Structure 1
Amino acid sequence: MNIFINKGMGHGNSGVEHAQFYRAARFRQKNIPFKLVFTDLLPELHQHMQEWHLAEDEVIGMYDYLLSDDPDQYLKTGLTEKFSFQEDSLWDLTNTQRRQVRQTTGKYQEIIIRDKRYSDDKKIYIVDDSRIFLENGDHKISWHFREVPSRGKVPTNIHLNNFRGSDYLFETFEELVTFFLGELENSFDKNIYFIDRGNENEEALVRAKKQGADFKIVDIVHAAHLVEFQNGHPLFNNFYQYMFDHFDTMDAVITATKLQRDAMKDDLKNQVEVTNLNKIHAIPVGGADINEPAHHWDGKEARFVTASRLHPEKHISQIVKAIDALRKEGLNATLAIYGSGADEKPLNDLITELNLGDYVTVKGLSQNVVKDLQAYDAFVSASYSEGFGLTYIEAISDALPIATYANLYGAQELVQDGVNGKLAEFSRQDSDEDQNVVNLTAAMRAIFDDYDQLSQGAHEVAHVYQSDRIADQWQKLVEELS
């Protein structure tokens, strides 16, 4: 079985989850069996699966499995009953929430007990989760929390009752995950684990393999792997340090771009055995399912669009400021922003402050980005870092020229300056933000100086990233590892 390991998914997801969904589609295309596995507690998991068109027999939720009446059947079919998410709360006389009961979308109930304590440091009362109980009849999981200075609150003393007729006690969440992954290993044959997220998942699998378990590990790199070099030694992204420390245990490492593959090989050439460098492959995490014909711009309204999580690291406020600059120059530029996240209110406040309410619109989350982008002329991104950039591919599919900062690795691989878009130089220093906006504004303006040619370029680039080709790459990798 091909098992995609992650922690969670939801109504709005990051590029990691969308990369998994895209990979799942390619595996379906080639009739390659797979399961998406999530280890977080996800009370609304099955509702979100429906939103993102994941079938019940394609997903394994750790808590669904451990609380199942028939674990073996659950692994084959998923849930066979539908449950609606509901919750109710109990409040004390001080208007403090003490108990919350949730009917999850799985076949179990979640009970949260909260305590209230006075913080001498903060001089306020703090209400926080104290105990968690998950129950499906006589199948139960419960734990309380302990404080770890470097990690905050973590589950401890995890009781698992009546799983396959036995009771278990795990001191840490990591022990529970190790047990769960061991169950998967015993339930499926010829397993290949594709690790997308979760250090505890990766560590458990590496330990098991070093102890003699017979399976393959494929580590998926979703972001920049290198922070910097110090005294000739590479300092890697914390999310990938464990992978590099145990590189000999990995059977394959997948980057989304050839640029990152080549950079990783160069960064590791003095760190690992030369033969291990051949484990690194480049397979795009997204591709073009359609290939729209090139567009013609009529010279009237320049309709820009962007789509991403609405978080500070996406720097969408800089796009709003660039739209303001373009309008002041006389270009009838508008912007549609698709996505959700913590930056939604600050963005709306900025739009109001700049009097752009008639020209910049926050559209909310898109469930079909390729379709929604078709209503616009050009795509724009202000991200400083993209391991790939799924929305670049979605824009290319629609033959939209792209204006973006020249980030590693996505923009520099997917956007060819003067061919299918314009790249803007940028600095990561906060003090240089104004100059960044000037550069991005220039790239956005240049799109419409040579629009038709750039749209034709996007149409041609889309041929390289057709989903059929990417499905072939995944099939080849699975066959080589099997």
Structure 2
Amino acid sequence: MNFFVNKGMGHGNSGVEHAQFYRAERFREKKIPFKLVFTDLLPKLHLHMQEWHLAENEVIGMYDYFLADNPDDYLENGLREISEFQEEMLWDLTNTQRRQVRQTTGSYTETILRDKRYSEKKKIYIVDDSRVFLENGIHRLSWHYRDYGSRGKLATNIHLDNFRGQSYFFETFEELVSFFFAELQGSYDHNIFIIDRGNENEEILVRLKDGGVPLKIVDVVHAAHLVEFQNGHPLFNNFYQYMFDHFNSMDAVITATKLQRDAMKKDLAQLEAPEQLKKIRAIPVGGAEINEPARHWDGTEARFVTASRLHPEKHISQIIKAVDQLRKAGMNATLAIFGSGGDEKALKELIEKLDLGKYVTLKGLSQDVVHDLQSYDVFVSASYSEGFGLTYIEAISDSLPIATYSNLFGAQELVHEGRNGALADFSRQDSDEEANVKNLAAAMKRTIENYDELSQGAHQVAQQYQPHIIADQWAELMEELS
């Protein structure tokens, strides 16, 4: 079995989850078996699976598995019946929430007990989770939380009762996850674990493999892998440090772009043997699902659009400020923003402050980005770093020119100045934001000034990222590893 290993998914997802969904579609096309594996506690998992069109027999949730009446049937078929999510709260006389009971969308209920204590340091009362009980009839999983200082609050003293007729005790969450992966390994043959997220997942699987368990590991790199060089030595992104420290244990390492593949090989040239570097492969995490004809701009309204999580690291505020500059310079520019996230309130306040309410709109989360982008002229991104940039590909599918910061690695691989878009120089220093916005506005202006030519270029680039090409690349890798 081929497992896509992650921690969780939800209503709004990052590029990591969307990369998994895209890979799943390619595996379906090639009839390659797969299961998405989630290790987080996800009370609404099955609702979100339906939202993102994942079948029950394509997903394994760790908690669903441990609490299943028939674990083997769950692994094969998923849940036979989905529950409606419900929850109720119990409050004490001081208006403190003491107990939360949820009927999850799975077969189990979740009960959370909360403690109230006074913090001398903060001079306030703190209410926090204390105990958790997950129950499905005679099947039960429970733990309590302990504060480990710098490590934060962690689950400990974990009891798993009546799993396959046995009861188990785990001191740590990592021990529970290790038991879970060992169960998966024992339930299937010829297993390849494709790790997308979760340092603890990665460490556990490497320990199992190094301990003699016959499994294979593919690590997928979804972001910039290198921070900087110091005294000639590479400092890697913390999320990938463990992978590089145990590079020999990896059977393949996947980057989304050829640029990152080549950069990674160069960065590791002094640390790894040439033979080891061959395991680094480039396979796009998204493709052009459609290939719309080139477009013509009618010369009236310049309709810009962006789509991403509404988080500070996406710098949506800089796109809004760039639109403000373009309008003040006489361009009839508008902006539609698709996405959801914690930055939404701040973006609304900025739009109001700049008096752009008629021209900049928040559209909410898109369930079909390719379709939604078709109503606009130019896609814009202000991200400083993209491992790939799925929304770039979605815009290219619609033959939209792209204006973006010249980030590594997505923008520099997918957007070519004068061919299918415009690249803006940028600095990561907060003090340089004004210069960044000016550069981005200039790039946006160039896409409009050269619109028809750039749209034709986007149409041509899309042909390089057709789904069947990417499906063939995955099929080839799976064949080599099997």
Q: Could you say whether these structures have the same fold, taking a TM-score greater than 0.5 normalized by the shorter chain as the test?
A: yes
Match of 1:166 in 2: 166
Match of 1:147 in 2: 147
Instruction: Give the Cα–Cα distance (whole angstroms) in 1 for the partners of residues 73 and 62 of structure 2.
Output: 14
Instruction: Give the Cα–Cα distance (whole angstroms) in 2 for the partners of residues 264 and 389 of structure 1.
Output: 18
1:150 to partner: Cα distance: 2.7
1:263 to partner: Cα distance: 0.2
Note the alpha carbon deviations across 1:113-154, whole angstroms, 9 max, x for none: 000000111111000000000000010000001112232111
1:272 to partner: Cα distance: 1.3
Question: Is 1:6 aligned to 2:10, yes or no?
Answer: no
- Give the SS at the match of 2:150: coil
Residue type matched to 2:373 in 1?
L
- Give the SS at the match of 2:106: coil
Match of 2:442 in 1: 442
Residue type matched to 1:192 in 2?
I
Match of 1:404 in 2: 404
Residue type matched to 2:461 in 1?
V
Match of 1:394 in 2: 394
Instruction: Give the Cα–Cα distance (whole angstroms) in 2 for the partners of residues 350 and 82 of structure 1.
Output: 42
Question: Is 1:290 aligned to 2:290, yes or no?
Answer: yes
Note the alpha carbon deviations across 1:350-407, whole angstroms, 9 max, x for none: 0000000000000000000000000000100000000000000000000000000000
Instruction: Give the Cα–Cα distance (whole angstroms) in 2 for the partners of residues 272 and 145 of structure 1.
Output: 41
> What RMSD, in angstroms, separates the aligned Cα atoms of the two structures?
0.5
Instruction: Give the Cα–Cα distance (whole angstroms) in 2 for the partners of residues 148 and 458 of structure 1.
Output: 52
Match of 2:78 in 1: 78
1:4 to partner: Cα distance: 0.3
- Give the SS at the match of 1:300: coil
Match of 1:346 in 2: 346
- Give the SS at the match of 1:156: strand
1:319 to partner: Cα distance: 0.1
Match of 1:422 in 2: 422
Residue type matched to 1:473 in 2?
Q
Residue type matched to 2:22 in 1?
Y
The unaligned stretches of length 5 or more in structure 2 are: none
- Give the SS at the match of 1:336: strand
* Runs of 4+ with >6 A deviation: none
Match of 1:281 in 2: 281
- Give the SS at the match of 1:392: helix
Match of 2:475 in 1: 475
Instruction: Give the Cα–Cα distance (whole angstroms) in 1 for the partners of residues 237 and 296 of structure 2.
Output: 42
Report sequence identity in percent.
75
Instruction: Give the Cα–Cα distance (whole angstroms) in 2 for the partners of residues 302 and 87 of structure 1.
Output: 46
- Give the SS at the match of 2:278: helix
Instruction: Give the Cα–Cα distance (whole angstroms) in 1 for the partners of residues 147 and 395 of structure 2.
Output: 45
- Give the SS at the match of 2:101: strand
Note the alpha carbon deviations across 1:227-259, whole angstroms, 9 max, x for none: 000000000000000000000010000000000
**Within-5 A mapping of 1:147-226:** 147-226=147-226
Instruction: Give the Cα–Cα distance (whole angstroms) in 2 for the partners of residues 119 and 466 of structure 1.
Output: 57
Instruction: Give the Cα–Cα distance (whole angstroms) in 2 for the partners of residues 236 and 143 of structure 1.
Output: 34
1:274 to partner: Cα distance: 1.6
1:162 to partner: Cα distance: 0.3
Instruction: Give the Cα–Cα distance (whole angstroms) in 1 for the partners of residues 466 and 82 of structure 2.
Output: 36
Instruction: Give the Cα–Cα distance (whole angstroms) in 2 for the partners of residues 169 and 332 of structure 1.
Output: 65
TM-score with structure 2 length normalisation?
Answer: 1.00
Residue type matched to 2:346 in 1?
P
- Give the SS at the match of 2:428: coil
Match of 1:34 in 2: 34
Instruction: Give the Cα–Cα distance (whole angstroms) in 2 for the partners of residues 156 and 150 of structure 1.
Output: 16
Match of 1:90 in 2: 90
1:215 to partner: Cα distance: 1.4
Residue type matched to 2:11 in 1?
H
Residue type matched to 1:85 in 2?
F
- Give the SS at the match of 1:150: helix
1:289 to partner: Cα distance: 1.1
Match of 2:49 in 1: 49
- Give the SS at the match of 1:193: strand
Match of 1:122 in 2: 122
Residue type matched to 2:353 in 1?
E
Match of 1:261 in 2: 261
Moved more, 143-152 or 396-405: 143-152
Match of 2:300 in 1: 300
- Give the SS at the match of 2:181: helix
The unaligned stretches of length 5 or more in structure 1 are: none
TM-score with structure 1 length normalisation?
Answer: 1.00
Match of 2:236 in 1: 236
Instruction: Give the Cα–Cα distance (whole angstroms) in 2 for the partners of residues 476 and 366 of structure 1.
Output: 33
Instruction: Give the Cα–Cα distance (whole angstroms) in 2 for the partners of residues 301 and 76 of structure 1.
Output: 53
Instruction: Give the Cα–Cα distance (whole angstroms) in 1 for the partners of residues 151 and 399 of structure 2.
Output: 45
Residue type matched to 1:304 in 2?
F
